Chains A and B, each alone.
Chain A
Amino acid sequence: MSTDKENVHNRIPMLRAERGVSRRDLATALGVHYQTIGYLERGEYSPSLHLALRIAEYFEVPVEVVFSLHPFPRLGSPS
């Protein structure tokens, strides 16, 4: 589990919802436990570089689209 200081923000729930992928499906595709996906989505666990790259590869987007050190802007916000 990561502390607030080393928190990595992610868009996994959004990407998952957009592509209609369940937590279980994503976990199976990545070869991790479904709870790991849940903890990642909640921001309670920061993935290794390897897992982060595999998640980005699964969604076919660059890694910075999925993960960021700063909170992602809300949809419809100016920035």
Chain B
Amino acid sequence: MTVMRESTMSKRSKRDERLQKLMEQDVPARYRSHKGRLRLVALGVGCLALFWAASVVCWLLAPSTTAMVSTFVLCGVGLAAGAWVFGTLILVSGVSGRIPEHLLDERQLQQRYRAHADAHRASLLLVFVTCFVVLILMGDHDHVSAAAVVVTFFALLASIAALPYLIATWKMTDPPAIDEEP
């Protein structure tokens, strides 16, 4: 039992050390300026727009081969580009929910809570607007394609997951460098 606990603790501390090292990394030079970060946020929004575009295609054309092919292409491109963009967003914003609280200092915690609070408000609005639009679309269609509902749900989920990072990166001020002298 004691051996198991020690092994869990050492695993945990190794993970903590790895995360600490990741957090200590300097923000890449191109994202140190507001313009660079806005460009990254725009890329992130662009990736999410691909999922929403796939959802629109499904609502308008599904079930059809055109809808299937375009949905796969749009979601595939969105996933491939999104993986890189959101990885960078997490690194730049530093508000990842995967980092345990005990590894963050008071400013980082405040930044994380603020980003998640803002994202929560934006998510509520997004869910409300999506439900409203879906209800209208369901009224207009005799048959609703399951693909349309699934892709819309996926786009909504991806947007809600990405919002904290997008908002935190958009609102953050230029990070100070390690050796920058005031």
Q: Do A and B bind each other?
A: yes
Chain A 5-19 per-residue mask, 1 if CB under 8 angstroms from chain B, else 0: 000000001000100
Chain B contacts for A51, CB-based, 8 A? 106
Report whether A23 and B178 are in contact in the complex, using a CB–CB cutoff of 8 Å.
Answer: yes
Task: Tell me the minimal C-beta distance from B90 to chain A in angstroms.
Answer: 15
A38 vs B108: C-alpha distance when bound (angstroms): 13
Task: Tell me the minimal C-beta distance from B29 to chain A in angstroms.
Answer: 15
Q: Beyond A33-B23, A42-B182, is A48–B176 a contact (Cβ under 8 Å)?
A: no
Chain B interface size, as a band, is 10 to 19
CB-based nearest A residue for B175? A35
Report whether B182 and A48 are in contact in the complex, using a CB–CB cutoff of 8 Å.
Answer: no
Report whether B177 and A36 are in contact in the complex, using a CB–CB cutoff of 8 Å.
Answer: no
Report whether B24 and A45 are in contact in the complex, using a CB–CB cutoff of 8 Å.
Answer: no
Report whether B107 and A36 are in contact in the complex, using a CB–CB cutoff of 8 Å.
Answer: yes
Task: Tell me the minimal C-beta distance from B107 to chain A in angstroms.
Answer: 4
Report whether A38 and B107 are in contact in the complex, using a CB–CB cutoff of 8 Å.
Answer: no
Q: Which of B103-141 contact A (CB under 8 A)?
A: 104-108
Q: Beyond A13-B182, A32-B105, A32-B107, is A44–B173 a contact (Cβ under 8 Å)?
A: yes
Chain B contacts for A22, CB-based, 8 A? 178-179
A60 vs B51: C-alpha distance when bound (angstroms): 56
Q: What are 21 A-B contacts with C-beta separation under 8 Å?
A: A13-B181, A17-B181, A22-B178, A22-B179, A23-B178, A24-B178, A31-B105, A32-B107, A33-B105, A33-B107, A33-B108, A35-B107, A36-B108, A37-B176, A38-B176, A39-B107, A39-B176, A41-B182, A44-B173, A45-B107, A47-B106
Chain B positions within 8 Å of A, measured between CB atoms, are: 23-24, 104-108, 173, 175-182
Chain A positions within 8 Å of B, measured between CB atoms, are: 1, 13, 17, 22-24, 31-39, 41-42, 44-45, 47-48, 50-51
